[in-house]
Amino acid sequence: MLHFGPAGIPDSSPKRDTISGIKRVAEIGLNAMEVEFVRGVRMNPRTAEEAGKIAKELNILLSAHAPYFINLASEDEKKREKGIEFITDTARIADALGAKTVVFHPGYYYKKDKNKTFSLMIENIKKAKKIVEENKWDVVLAPETMGRQAAFGSLDEIIKICEEADVVPAVDFAHIHARGNGCLKTKNDFGEIFDRLEKLGLKNFHMHFTGVEYKNGNEKKHLILEDGDLDFSLLASELAERKINGTLISESPNLEVDALHMKKVYERTK
């Protein structure tokens, strides 16, 4: 089964808190929500447990996104340690929420040295994973494919990290499209992504989708679906044909509207 929902509290939610957001997601006919900790993890465990209980009652599948300012390959050791802390703080609250997937941005290349970058990424993701396991938090860590040339996170890099650090990918199609300077033009282009992901042996995928503006292989900003050149119907066809399970999160500026649109397109395609 595929779950569809917004990245964060729906724009139409009457209140800007997680519980209100979850209730609004259910009201409009979606069944997933990614809880966004953009600048820091500021939710207490009691609130998280309450939100998780409501999500479970409403059949809303939650995930969590760690703060954006993470660089696990920074030249500054303190920044690498802070990145691990951001990931594990998110994992702690995600566990209380009942959110199984913790998405994070891995960071940037270490002095443009890819070998050093890989070693630092693997070392620090493993450190974060060890803390998660020691605390018995029921989550998986998911490094995200990234949309800028300076950021670590091409599809191949994320697959390699997942293989070596035993984590799972967060597949952001807009980032892949932008990084490849508009590379996702046909259904087969999306199929090739899943062909490459198959080696990980996954049964569920955590995915992001939005329209995107890009230039020279770099993401500039998110767009509503109708304003971008990334055609969701191509992905929907591939998802339906392969019977992909998991979660598809809308990161469109038209947050829940485009999430609902994607859900309808997928259901019509299926």
Q: What is the pLDDT of residues 110-119, one digit of tens each?
A: 987 889 999 9
Map the chain to HEC letters: CEEEEEECCCCCCCCCCHHHHHHHHHHCCCCEEEEECCCCCCCCHHHHHHHHHHHHHCCCEEEEECCCCCCCCCCCHHHHHHHHHHHHHHHHHHHHHCCCEEEECCCECCCCCHHHHHHHHHHHHHHHHHHHHHCCCCCEEEEECCCCCCECCCHHHHHHHHHHHCCCCEEEHHHHHHHCCCCCCCHHHHHHHHHHHHHHCCCCEEEEECEEEEECCEEEEEECHHHCCCCHHHHHHHHHHHCCCEEEEECCCCHHHHHHHHHHHHHHHC
How many domains is the chain built from? 1
Alpha-carbon separation of residue 175 from 20, 108, 160, 211 (angstroms): 29, 15, 17, 10
CATH of the domain at 162: 3.20.20.150
**Mean pLDDT over each residue of the chain, to the nearest integer:** 97
The per-residue pLDDT for range 6-21, each reduced to its tens digit, is 999 999 999 999 999 9
The per-residue pLDDT for range 55-90, each reduced to its tens digit, is 999 999 999 999 999 999 999 999 999 999 999 999
Average pLDDT of the residues in 247-253: 98
pLDDT at residue 203 in the model: 87
pLDDT at residue 242 in the model: 96
**Count of other CB atoms within 10 angstroms of residue 148:** 16
The per-residue pLDDT for range 94-148, each reduced to its tens digit, is 999 999 999 999 999 998 788 999 999 999 999 999 999 999 999 999 999 999 9
The domain containing residue 143 runs over which residues? 2-269
The per-residue pLDDT for range 163-203, each reduced to its tens digit, is 999 999 999 999 999 999 999 999 999 999 999 998 899 98
**Closest residue by Cα to residue 33 from 56, 67, 14, 50:** 56
CA geometry: angle 44, 47, 53, nearest 5 deg: 135
CA geometry: angle 23, 29, 31, nearest 5 deg: 70
